[in-house]
Chain A
Amino acid sequence: MKVYKYGANVDTDVIIPARHLNDPSPAALASHCMEDLDAAFASTVEAGDIIVAGPNFGCGSSREHAPLAIKSCGVKCVIAPSFARIFYRNAINIGFPIVECPQAAEEIQAGDQVDVDFATGTITDSTQGKTWQAAPFPAFIEGIIQSGGLLNSLKARGVAK
């Protein structure tokens, strides 16, 4: 699956500009995803593609619309050295995979064919013939992801009505 590569501090305003937040439907969000950073993204992205970026991905506004937009485009995951903390929470809470791996984020190039095995954390770049290993999530967070998101995990525990 092909890679889109971006720099450091990709903020949620460029991932999904606020002028499009008045329609939070997944299709509308997907159609404007990355609009102010890469105008071609929404029209060229295909299911299974991967975003690779620099540190502090998803900084700025708490808008969950940002990971929702990326997820709704069919993107498989985002690989970065670090994520802004609200984006990190939001991605986990909606069951969208994010992978912290500084070396992979640095070495993978735009257009490379890359795949990620979430079960093992192995990132494979078949263009460069390289693999990297991402650190696993803590068990608590892995549990949220396995449940399909935070609300499903709360329901399973029976802590809400």
Chain B
Amino acid sequence: MGMTMTQKILAKAAGLESVEAGQLIEARLDLVLGNDITTPVAITEFEKAGFTQVFDRDRIAIVLDHYTPCKDIKSAQLCKQAREFAQKHNITHFFDVGQMGVEHALLPEKGLCAPGEVIIGADSHTCTYGALGAFSTGVGSTDMAAGMATGLLWFKVPSAIKVTLKGKLQPYVSGKDVILHLIGQIGVDGALYQSLEFAGEGVASLSMDDRFTISNMAIEAGGKNGIFPVDEKTMEYINGRVSRPCEAFSADPDAVYTREAVIDLDTLEPTVALPHLPENTKTVREVAGLPINQVVIGSCTNGRISDLRAAAAILKGKKIAPGVRCVVIPATQEIVLQAMKEGLIETFIQAGAAVSTPTCGPCLGGHMGVMAEGERAVSTTNRNFVGRMGHVTSEIILASPAVAAASAVAGCVADPRNDC
């Protein structure tokens, strides 16, 4: 029986000829990731278990990105714990304030993720690196501790949903619209315990940033991972970033899928997800005009340079609507510098937006844009759960950077294809 792309990567990492869906395996890990919220819990468990050494100091990444630069004393204590552990074990890829970025934008940029690798992260959006043809998945802190100690982890081999992309994205439509549309189609548990494997002629036209955005939100459909085939764009992206050997896997022609979803990129509309689940999708034109208080442009989903370019193209020469706060958060230091060179930061500031140093911040209601009672945001982040960005009665509408920027100018949910 043929294997999916994910199954082939897992089989190799488990030292097996083949695997099948449902099989429990133990796989070798290429990278173990944690952040300032999850790493301290992992460290406590690691030390409580009596472990004294990490399996490989070059294969662990610790990124202090969630509540940083530290928002309060308790957060500072957590960062201190992570920092001291990184120093004690001489962790190579430790990223503190000044070097850090939002982890899932940072790691690919630093060449720490490559095709065919097996990556776990104590952060649910670790599935982002599937964009590079890696198997990567979110886990918990105990898994992170186990990974740091042994370089191994148990997995249940997932079955897969094949997502066939046809056609080509139209102007003002992006990877965010693709993944929101898919989640709307299959539901927030539509891919539970499964892989999302992207395929079809439409893949070639998607930029790497679009693919990162799509893989990033596989978890919002319940998926274990969301993986793209490796093509010229992938190789172009890793060229100059990754120097170690890596292997491009592809699904067998007779791979078994539990179902197939088809998305026609030619006709895809800018799409948003209404509160309080990412599956509550509507086309932007169906909900245009809903008043808003805040716009957030950033995060591991949409804080990359092409996201900022899309937002700046709309904000150039315009003003943020009165009564709306717009917060722009480039995801990494490299992206900040690039945005400065291109004049994007100037565009944002002249439009009346606040521009922040990289942080996850408002996405999880941490800091840098927490909402009050009854407020509503259009956000390029990934979750619109109850209370996610602040008060339990506040609301989040998930959208692409283009929709978010158009909405910031209009003062309400707005279609970027219209003159706003």
- Supposing A64-B38, A64-B41, A89-B139 touch, asked if A56 and B188 sit within 8 A by C-beta, the answer is yes
Complex-state Cα separation, A55 to B150, whole angstroms: 33
Q: A residues within 8 A CB of B78? A: 22, 24
Contact between chains at B142 and A150 (CB < 8 Å)? yes
Q: Which residue of B lies closest to A24 (CB)?
A: B41
Interface range on chain A (Cβ under 8 Å from partner) = 35 or more
Asked if A9 is an interface residue, CB under 8 A from chain B, the answer is yes
CB within 8 Å for A11 and B385 given contacts A59-B189, A63-B38, A140-B154: yes
Contact with B along A59-85 (1 / 0, CB 8 A): 111111100100000000000001011
- Which residues of B sit under 8 angstroms from A160, Cβ to Cβ? 51, 53, 55, 146, 149-150
- The interface bits of chain A over 72-109 (1 if a CB of B lies within 8 angstroms of the residue's CB, else 0) are 00000000001011100110011000000000000000
Give every chain A residue within 8 A of B24 (Cβ-Cβ). Answer: 138, 140-141
- A85 touching B387 in the complex, CB below 8 Å, given contacts A22-B67, A151-B45, A151-B142: no
| Cα A3 to Cα B142 with chains together (Å) | 28
B 31-70 binary contact with A (CB < 8 Å = 1; else 0):
0000001101100111011111101000000000001000
- Whose C-beta in chain A lies nearest to the C-beta of B382? A60
Chain A residue nearest to B74 in the complex (CB): A22
Contacts of B122 in A (CB 8 A): 62, 64
Proximity string of chain A (1-36) to chain B, C-beta cutoff 8 Å, 1 when within and 0 when not: 000000001010110011101111000000000001
Give chain B interface residues in 128-167, CB to chain A under 8 Å: 138-143, 145-146, 149-150, 152, 154
Q: Roughly how many angstroms separate A2 CA and B75 CA in the complex, as a whole number?
A: 36
**Structural contact, A159 and B37, CB atoms closer than 8 A:** no
Select B143's contact among A19, A82, A93, beta carbons within 8 Å: A93
On whether the beta carbons of A56 and B139 are closer than 8 Å, the reply is no
**B74: A residues at CB distance < 8 A:** 22-23
A130 located at the interface, meaning its Cβ lies under 8 Å from any Cβ of chain B in the complex: no
Contacts A14-B385, A160-B150 known; A64 to B141 CB distance under 8 Å? yes
Pairwise interchain contact B142-A84, C-beta atoms closer than 8 A: no
Q: Are A18 and B365 in contact (CB under 8 A)?
A: yes
Interface: A37 (CB within 8 A): yes
Partner of B365 from A17, A68, A89, A149 at Cβ < 8 Å: A17
Q: Assess the B145–A151 pair: CB atoms within 8 A.
A: yes
Is B172 close to A, CB under 8 A? Answer: no
Cα A68 to Cα B38 with chains together (Å): 12
Q: Nearest Cβ distance between residue A159 and chain B, in whole angstroms?
A: 5
B11 within 8 A of A: no
- B240 CB, nearest partner CB in chain A, Å: 31
Give me 28 A-to-B residue pairs in the complex whose CB atoms sit less than 8 angstroms apart, sorted by A's number: A9-B277, A17-B387, A18-B365, A18-B366, A18-B388, A22-B71, A22-B74, A36-B392, A61-B383, A62-B121, A62-B140, A63-B38, A68-B41, A82-B189, A84-B189, A85-B192, A90-B142, A90-B143, A93-B140, A93-B146, A94-B142, A138-B24, A140-B154, A151-B46, A151-B48, A151-B145, A159-B150, A160-B53
By a beta-carbon cutoff of 8 Å, the part of chain B in contact with chain A is 24, 37-38, 40-41, 44-46, 48-53, 55, 67, 71-72, 74-75, 78, 121-124, 126, 138-143, 145-146, 149-150, 152, 154, 188-189, 192-193, 219, 222, 224, 277, 364-366, 383, 385-388, 392
Other 20 A-B pairs with CB < 8 A, given A90-B143, A160-B150: A17-B387, A18-B37, A18-B365, A22-B72, A24-B40, A59-B188, A59-B222, A62-B121, A62-B124, A64-B122, A86-B138, A89-B140, A89-B143, A138-B24, A144-B154, A149-B142, A150-B143, A150-B146, A151-B45, A160-B146
